Amino acid sequence: MLNSIEWHPLINEYVSHLYRLSYQNNRQVSAQMRDGYIAIQFLASRAIDDTGAYPSQIRDLLVMGCQLFSYHAMKADNISFGTNCGRLQIASKFSIERRLMALVASDMTNLHYHLQPLLVLMAQHRIGIDWSRLLINLLHWDEKYQIIQECWLKDYYLFLYAVGEKRATVPTGTVMMQDVGAPS
């Protein structure tokens, strides 16, 4: 089992690297982001041993993060993806709840297909993403108790409730972020 906590600094450094590259406004860099090539280059430049091998879970996460980042590079700090989905629900005419439910029900192999359309909509509505937080959340995605998925749903419903969205009710049994000791 991968000890995911030890990878958080690498993910933060990687997101900083993606932002630096995105400021270049270069077509070749954009294409390399969509292909995930930037992630492979990043890992190769930070070899952890003589073979340069990283756990496949880290490599796959950074490649997916790079591909998704190419759709939406607007930055936000310390905002959960669930809260961003709530903001998107208010800003758009689409059913974000249905999309979020499909996202949290998916496993890591299908996650990209559910995240990409939400990110495109967030970019269209100029809703920033906390990319470090998102990738760290995704690193914990397939854990047994699905705390990340529960927290995203809680944040979505609590945001809608806070802004007065009439249909927003937090489902019973939803794990609160503070219940697991993580920052909200």
Residue where one domain finishes, among candidates 36, 69, 102: 69
Residue 134 lies in a domain: no
If asked whether residues 164 and 98 sit together in one domain, one would say yes
If asked whether residues 96 and 49 sit together in one domain, one would say no
Q: Give residue 176's pLDDT.
A: 43
If asked whether residues 17 and 38 sit together in one domain, one would say yes
CA distance 84 to 101: 14
CA distances from 128 to 53, 74, 76, 124, 171 (A): 32, 5, 5, 10, 26
Number of domains in the chain: 2
If asked whether residues 26 and 53 sit together in one domain, one would say yes
Residue 87 lies in a domain: yes
Residue where one domain finishes, among candidates 69, 91, 121: 69
If asked whether residues 18 and 106 sit together in one domain, one would say no
The dihedral sign for the CA sequence 113, 118, 119, 124: positive
pLDDT per residue rounded down to tens, the chain (184 residues): 456 778 889 999 999 999 999 888 778 888 888 888 888 889 888 766 556 568 888 889 999 999 999 988 899 989 999 999 999 999 998 899 999 999 999 999 999 999 999 999 999 999 999 999 999 999 999 888 899 999 999 999 999 999 986 555 555 444 444 434 344 4
If asked whether residues 27 and 89 sit together in one domain, one would say no
Residue 108 lies in a domain: yes
CA distances from 129 to 40, 42, 48, 92, 170 (A): 22, 21, 29, 17, 23
If asked whether residues 174 and 103 sit together in one domain, one would say yes
If asked whether residues 93 and 40 sit together in one domain, one would say no
Residue where one domain finishes, among candidates 32, 48, 69: 69
Residue 31 lies in a domain: yes
The phi, psi pair for 72, rounded to 5°, reads: -160, 105
If asked whether residues 45 and 101 sit together in one domain, one would say no
If asked whether residues 120 and 86 sit together in one domain, one would say yes
Q: Give residue 48's pLDDT.
A: 63
If asked whether residues 96 and 147 sit together in one domain, one would say yes
Domain assignment of residue 112, given as a range: 81-129+139-180
If asked whether residues 92 and 13 sit together in one domain, one would say no
pTM of the model: 0.82
Q: Give residue 47's pLDDT.
A: 62
